Amino acid sequence: KKNINKDQELSKLKKQINQLDTRLNEDLDAENNKLEVFGRKFFSSIQSTFMPINIPNFGSNYIIDVGDEFLLMLTGKVNKEHELEVQRDGSLVIPSFGKVNVAGQSIQSASSAIGNLLENTMLGVAHHLTLSNIRDIQVLLLGGIESPGIYTLNGGSNLLHALNVAGGIAENGSFRKVDIIRNSKTIGSYDLYSIFTSGSFDPSATLRSGDSIFVHPRSFLIPTTGGVNQEALYEILPEETLTNLIGFAGGLSP
């Protein structure tokens, strides 16, 4: 009888433990369902205010391409202003002087090439070259993106602009690995968490027409709640540790 009673008590205790475990898991699932994937809010901004305004303010290292427009001021023996657009062959046609190839060059290099053309054609003519309007570009977005497809953006757009226009990262997409592909080669692989947590991003690294952006599949998510500064679902890479996770969550709260 004692053994029977012990077995009954043990069975009853196991049942209570299982019920408690089920209840705790249900509570945890409910809590996790309230959590948002870290980074999702970043792309919920209004697209019209997020897109860059077409007011050129690039440095002399801006790379020129077809469709860019310039204001060329000539002074000295000739005093004229010309509004010029980069032609399909990549050149600027300067009336009375000829044309100079500028596509693929920086503004500084293009200005030097124009100076050489003017000097070889007519002495005593100085010039000042200003970018007045930037071209439109077409970019392909693929992978874990909300609305994959081809998008037309202005030439000042960068990776974040393109992702935002396409609706942001999809549920199955990774915030941790986003590639920019140019001429069939990956020219950059970006971890958006680095941008969101430390702001380490160069906005002057603009896209070019024909670029592809590929969002890789998502790694696993870790629900993080309690004594951290920012509760959320965090995407963690296989080699990362609890220290990384707490860092993404803004550290431990007081």
pLDDT in tens, 54-98: 445 566 667 888 889 999 999 998 899 999 999 999 999 999 999
What's the token pair of residue 190? 């970006």
Tens digits of per-residue pLDDT, 152-179? 998 878 899 899 999 999 999 999 999 9
What is the 3 state secondary structure string of the chain?
Answer: CHHHHHHHHHHHHHHHHHHHHHHHHHHHHHHHHHCCECCHHHHHCCHHHHCCCCCCCCCCCCECCCCCEEEEEEEECCCEEEEEECCCCCEEEECCCEEEECCCCEHHHHHHHHHHHHHHHCCCEEEEEEEEECCEEEEEEEECECCCEEEEEECCCCHHHHHHHCCCECCCEEEEEEEEEECCEEEEEECHHHHHHHCCCCCCCCCCCCCEEEEEECCEEEEECCCECCCEEEEECCCCCHHHHHHHCCCECC
What's the token pair of residue 95? 């009336």
What's the token pair of residue 45? 């901004």
Tens digits of per-residue pLDDT, 7-60? 778 888 888 787 777 766 655 555 556 899 998 888 875 454 445 544 455 666
